[in-house]
Amino acid sequence: MLHLHILSWLLVLILFYSSYENFSDRQGPSRLYKPLHMTLRLFMLITIVSGIVLFVQVMKGDIDHMMYGLKFVFGLATIGLAEMTLAKKKKKKPSRTFFIITFVVALITIGLGLHLPMVGIMGMFK
């Protein structure tokens, strides 16, 4: 499940960036915007479901639950901010600050995931 979760959030970040860049402020969406956005939403859903499964697995153990809960909240915030950023871009409102905030929150979430002992990147090699 960990491999699926890591693959899905990596694809979410890549698809988010490509969706954001495929919507021009002057010309509107390119022909690739809608398929990219729908694929992004699919992988967001996969990320949420795999994150919930990993979160439930961690809660069964005897580990620092608060940090995992914090990572879960930051993960949901990242997905919510990404969707709000694309919605602002689609409405032709200024969205660059939301874009930057989304990547900062994503980096915090990734940093928490790397720091946590059970489900971090190093957990794949155990």
Degrees, nearest 5: CA angle 14-98-65: 75
- 54 and 5 Cβ atoms separated by less than 8 Å: yes
pLDDT classification of 118: cutoffs 50, 70, 90: low
Range of the structural domain that residue 98 is part of? 2-125
Query: What is the C-alpha to C-alpha distance for residues 53 and 51, in angstroms, rounded to an integer?
Result: 5
- Residue 123, pLDDT above cutoff 70: no
pLDDT single digits (tens) 13-44:
999 999 999 887 677 788 888 999 999 999 99
- For the entire predicted model, the pTM comes to 0.86
Query: What is the C-alpha to C-alpha distance for residues 18 and 36, in angstroms, rounded to an integer?
Result: 7
If you ran DSSP here, which 8-state letter would residue 28 be given?
A: E
pLDDT classification of 74: cutoffs 50, 70, 90: very high
- 6 and 47 Cβ atoms separated by less than 8 Å: no
pLDDT single digits (tens) 51-65:
999 888 888 877 778
pLDDT classification of 11: cutoffs 50, 70, 90: very high
Q: Which secondary-structure segment (H or E) carries 29?
A: strand 28-29
Residues 6+ away with beta carbon under 8 Å from 85: 16, 20, 95, 98, 99, 102
Number of domains in the chain: 1
